[in-house]
Structure 1
Amino acid sequence: MNPDLDLTLQRVIRAPRAAVWKAWTDPDRFAKWWLPAPAVCRVDRLEARPGGALVTRYSEDGVAFVPHMDAAFLVVDELERIVFTNAIDSSWRPATPAPVAMTAEIVLTDRPDGTDYRVLVRHGDPAARARHEELGFADGWGTVTSQLAHSVEEEAGP
């Protein structure tokens, strides 16, 4: 981790790692938590494999959907790690995504009380990192992580 270029988030999710993995790799489950509520997510493509696509749209009203993310998975180590980037799109073409280009790494490890969930978002330069932080990285990624946790913890039950 490079503090000049990277942003991080860590949380314990009180659900089995397999449930968190499924929430990341099943399009219907992913759509439930990927955007901060009340925004609605629609998953056009979620191909959880190296080189696979991650294409989503969002809506403020649940009716009109606009593009949100067009990214590619770089690494998919089952039940352990997902890495994706929006610096190339789902067709493997170089991209200049708004608001910033990033590569996100999600790492899942078992804990006695659930899953250790770690996010590392890498940026190409300090200005991109600063912009992402100013735009609300902590709130945005924090909110969707809470939504993810709620959805899988609810499924896991007591």
Structure 2
Amino acid sequence: MNPDLDLTLGRIIRAPRAAVWSAWTDPAEFEKWWLPAPTVCRVDRLDVRPGGALVTRLSEDGVEFVPHVDASFLVVDELERIVFTNAIDSAWRPANPAPVPMTAEITLRDHPDGTDYRVVVRHGDPAARARHEELGFAEGWGSVTEQLAVVAAG
């Protein structure tokens, strides 16, 4: 973790690790938590394997959906770790995504109260990190992590 380039989030989710993993890997569950409510998520592709795709759309009204994320999974260690990047799109082409290119690493570990859930989002330079932080990284990733906890405990 490099504090000049990375943003982090962690919390204990009161659900088994397998339930948190399922919320990350099952498209129907993923749609329930991936975007801060009341925004609606639609999963176009969720192929959670190295080289697999993460493609989502979002809607403010539940009717008209626009592109949101087009990313590739880099590392998938079942029940333990997911790493994806939006700097390479789902067709493995270099991308320059808005608002910032990033690589996110999600780790899951057993905890006496459920799952120790950690996120590290890496950026290529301090300006990208600062922009992501200014856009509300803590609030955005924090709110979707809360929604993830509700889905996993569900």
TM class by smaller structure: over 0.9
Letter of the 2:139 counterpart:
D
* Equivalent AA in structure 1 for residue 142 of structure 2: G
Distance 2:54 2:152 in 1: 21
The letter for the 2-side match of 1:8 is T
Structure 1 stretches of 4+ moved >6 Å: none
The offset of 1:29, in angstroms, is 0.3
Partner Cα separation in structure 1 for residue 61 and residue 106 of structure 2: 29
Letter in 2 for 1:4: D
1:21-77: CA deviations, max 9, x gaps? 000000000000000000000000000000000000000000000000000000000
Aligned equivalent of 2:88: 88
- Unpaired runs of 5+ residues, structure 1, are none
Letter in 2 for 1:84: F
Q: Which residue is 2:57 aligned to?
A: 57
Residue in 1 that maps onto 2:19: 19
Residue 146 of structure 1 aligns to which amino acid in structure 2? E
In the TM superposition, what is the alpha-carbon distance from 1:147 to its structure 2 partner?
0.3
Shift of 1:152: 1.3
What do residues 103-125 of structure 1 show as CA deviations (whole Å, max 9, x unaligned)?
A: 00000000111000000000000
Find the counterpart in structure 1 of residue 119 from structure 2: 119
| Rounded Cα–Cα distance in structure 2 between residues aligned with 1:30 and 1:73 | 15
CA shift, 1:150, in A, is 1.1
For the residue of structure 2 that corresponds to 1:110, the secondary structure is: strand
Matched residue count: 154
d(CA) in 1 for partners of 2:28 and 2:151? Answer: 12
What is the distance in 2 between the residues matched to 1:31 and 1:135?
22
What one-letter code is carried by the residue in structure 2 that aligns with 1:113?
A: D
Matched, 1:70 2:92: no
Read off the aligned partner of 2:94 and give its amino acid letter.
P
Give the RMSD, CA atoms, in angstroms: 0.3
Identity fraction in percent: 82
Could you say which residue in structure 2 is the equivalent of 1:97?
A: 97
* Residue 31 (structure 1) aligns with: 31
Tell me the secondary structure at the aligned position of residue 88 of structure 2: coil
Structure 2 equivalent of residue 144 of structure 1: 144
